[in-house]
Amino acid sequence: MSKRDLKKYLSELNKEQLEEQIIELYEKFSPVKVYYDFVFNPKEESLLQECKLKISNEYYPLKKSGRRSKPKMRRSVAQKYIKHFIILGVDPFVIADVMLYNIEIAQTFASEHIIKHDLFFKSMFNSFEQAVIFLIANGILQDFKSRLKVIHQQTISQKWYNEPEFNAVLERIEY
């Protein structure tokens, strides 16, 4: 069904029929429920804190049964939250904060542990590049430039092999 066909169908329904359909969608489909729950009660701050906790648990897992779990360091956890936040229409400043927090917590972990996997560094660069693109697209680059520079400084001090790539991104946005 095309969007035009859907509009035509919906225009033929009366108010009660529309309400019934929306309630049915709300009850049947979890994403619809999540969307409406957010629209009518947008607790962005609590969503942000929950998200940051989950991301930090990827690097600093909570102790289970007296011993610390092994860090998983999955970028995908942050990516799922970012995608979810974008779909919900969360404030771009909150989304940008999550994007940069993901890189910052990974760098904190990397400063304390030896990372042998090149994929980790490539992944963090991809996150950095995506964050910069998002910041530019939403017109909020200036608000986060200092955090971007600190992230780049960390790639230098931690001697990341792909530091020149981070530098290249920053040089492109400086001009």
Cα–Cα separations (whole angstroms), residue 173 to 27, 123, 142, 170 = 46, 20, 10, 5
Structural domain containing residue 27: 1-41
Query: Which range is most confident: 6-15, 24-33, 45-54, 91-100?
Result: 91-100
What pLDDT score was predicted for residue 174?
80
What pLDDT score was predicted for residue 64?
65
Q: Is the pLDDT of residue 67 over 70?
A: no
pLDDT in tens, 45-65: 888 999 999 999 999 887 766
The answer on 65 and 135 residing in a single domain is yes
The answer on 118 and 166 residing in a single domain is yes
Q: Are 97 and 48 in contact (CB under 8 A)?
A: yes
